[in-house]
Amino acid sequence: MTAPDDNPFLNEFQDVVPLEQDKVPLKKPALSSSTLANRQEAAVSKHYKDFNYLVDSEVPLVEPEQILEFRIDGLQTGVFKKLRQGKYTIEGHLDLHRHTVAEARSALFQFIQKSLKLECRTLLVTHGKGARSVPPARIKSYVDYWLKQVPEVMAYHSAQKHHGGTGSVYVLLRKSPTQRQQNKEKYQ
């Protein structure tokens, strides 16, 4: 063992003296009653950021019996034809009957987000025809507009009669990265 006097590091610093610190009392600034009230209101209120990017303003109206269809550029004709004919297995269903526009907006957004997490590809959204609503086909018009806003929606088309006809749409979502990788491995 070495003696403490043999340590060159300690020998170099043996004459070091700690600096004296100024003791400054910290005072919290006095807050006005209005500032305190604003802080309390902010803490108690239920403010949250809405990540739903679907519009909530007025949209162009469609007719109750109108067939809805949309497809992105580059989507294969055969894929769209199978979707239109209802030949894909439906992996999720959302019914928007008796929903207000705000409720339908939230429900559709959450449904699509959940479907993407679960890696669903084909969905059925039942919006109703809205023949008796004022204005006619209100929810149907919003669904038609909203689905075009979702980047993961590759195509949609009004459903076959047994799935609701013009009161429902088949929705085709993009493949997840996992599904794309599996498809790539399968066909290499």
CA–CA–CA angle 146, 148, 151 (5° rounding): 105
- What CATH number should be reported for the domain whose range is 69-186? 3.30.1370.110
Q: What is the DSSP letter of 34?
A: H
- Give the pLDDT of residue 5: 64
pTM: 0.70
CB 171 within 8 A of CB 125: yes
Q: Per residue of the chain (188 residues), give pLDDT as tens.
A: 556 567 888 888 888 888 887 777 777 777 788 887 887 777 776 655 568 788 888 899 999 999 999 999 999 999 999 999 999 999 999 999 999 999 999 999 999 999 999 999 999 999 999 888 888 999 999 999 999 999 999 999 999 999 999 999 999 999 888 887 887 787 77
- Give the pLDDT of residue 2: 54
- Give the pLDDT of residue 174: 92
Q: How many CB atoms lie within 10 A of CB 109?
A: 18
Domain boundaries along the sequence of the chain: 69-186
> How far is it, in rounded angstroms, from Cα 156 to Cα 166?
12
- Give the pLDDT of residue 116: 93
> How far is it, in rounded angstroms, from Cα 92 to Cα 140?
18
Using CA atoms of 74, 80, 82, 84 in order, give the dihedral in degrees to the nearest 10: 170
> How far is it, in rounded angstroms, from Cα 72 to Cα 95?
24
Antiparallel, parallel or unpaired: β 69-71 and 153-158: antiparallel
- Give the pLDDT of residue 88: 96
Secondary structure E strands in 60-107: 69-71, 92-95
